[in-house]
Structure 1
Amino acid sequence: MKSLLLKRLNQLSLALLYCGAAIVLVQAFWISYGVGVRYLLDSPDGMVTEATALLLVPVAFLGVSYALLNDAYPKVGLVRDKLPPSIQYWVDKLNMSVMLMVGGFFFAASTKAMLKSIDSGAASEILLWPRFYFWIPVVISLLAFCLTALYLLVAGREVPVSQRTATDKPNEQ
């Protein structure tokens, strides 16, 4: 059960990561087009600036659960690494609790923003795209982040083989 849940969280985080990468590629081509049209044809396209600005928020959150699963957030472990392993365990749990609370706050705020934009029918000024389109990937990403943080808080991380002590290794016969 535990490994199945971890596998599904990993698949979800990878799917979100690939969506973010696709958006970045679209933005890169669209910005290149916008620069070419502006400077070569002397005809600026206002849609390019607004669309790429609106897509920045979803892109910023699409990789957060992947980074959490792969332990890719920057850490300062100067003090933590000097502590005994039993205290390190509780420091890691406290750190994951804080990450879950911050992720939960952003999840609640983005969900509220999405629901308000659905209710108001607000659209972007130039593109006339409904604003909730941009909140949906943010809400999904932050939900995945919160689920991942909750899983890691409850189940913990597997200790990499390179960091296991001699007593942790299975008998090799």
Structure 2
Amino acid sequence: MKTTIFQLLRTVSLALLYVGAAIVVIQAAWITYGVGVRYILNSPDGMVTEATALLLVPVAFLGVSYALLNHSYPKVSLIRDRLPKGIQFWVDKFNMLMMLLVGSFFLAASGKAMFKSIDSGSASEILLWPRFYFWIPVVIALLSFCITALCMLIFGDPPEEEKSTSPLDGDIHSQDAA
């Protein structure tokens, strides 16, 4: 069961990560286009600044559950590593609890912002895009983060993924071993 849950969480977090990467590519292309038409054609695009700024909000959160699953957050473990193993266990649990509480706070705040923007019908100033379009991916990403943090708090670290020995997986070490 633990393996199945973490496989599902990995799949969801990877999907969110890919969505974030796609948004970054769209932003880069749109900004490049905006600079080009401004300085080459002398006809600035009035939407590029607001659109790319609005797209930064979801991008900021789409990779958080992936980072949590892969232990990619910075940790200062100078003192923790000198503690006995039993105390290290509880320090790690406390750390995960704090991450869950902070993530829950951001989830509640973004959920409230999403529902308020749906109720008010507020839209961006220039593009007139409904603001809740930008809050929905944030809420989904933070929900994924909180579920991941809760599972890691309850079950501990996710089981290691099995490494493929195929040279097609891009792992340099597996190619050296073959």
Same fold (TM over 0.5): yes
Equivalent-residue separation in structure 2 for 1:126 and 1:159 (angstroms): 47
Equivalent-residue separation in structure 2 for 1:136 and 1:77 (angstroms): 35
Q: Which residue of 1 aligns with 2:65?
A: 65
Equivalent-residue separation in structure 2 for 1:95 and 1:82 (angstroms): 16
Q: Which residue of 1 aligns with 2:75?
A: 75
Query: Deviations 1:101-158 (Å, cap 9, x if unpaired)?
Result: 0000000000000000000000001111000000000000000000000000000015
Q: Which residue of 2 aligns with 1:171?
A: none
Equivalent-residue separation in structure 1 for 2:125 and 2:143 (angstroms): 28
Equivalent-residue separation in structure 2 for 1:70 and 1:86 (angstroms): 23
Q: Which residue of 2 aligns with 1:33?
A: 33
Query: Deviations 1:52-90 (Å, cap 9, x if unpaired)?
Result: 000001000000000000000000000000001100000
TM-score of the aligned structures, taking structure 1 as reference length: 0.91
Q: Which residue of 2 aligns with 1:10?
A: 10
Letter matched to residue 85 of structure 1: K
Question: What secondary structure is seen at the aligned counterpart in 2 of 1:124?
Answer: coil
Structural RMSD (CA): 0.9
Q: Which residue of 2 aligns with 1:20?
A: 20
Equivalent-residue separation in structure 2 for 1:17 and 1:158 (angstroms): 18
Distance of aligned partners of 1:76 and 1:84 in 2 relative to their CA distance in 1, 3 Å threshold: same
5+ residue gaps, structure 1, are 161-173
5+ residue gaps, structure 2, are 161-178
Letter matched to residue 28 of structure 1: A
Matched, 1:115 2:118: no
Q: Which residue of 1 aligns with 2:47?
A: 47
Q: What is the number of equivalent residue pairs in this alignment?
A: 160
Letter matched to residue 9 of structure 1: L
Match runs of 1:119-134 below 5 Å: 119-134=119-134
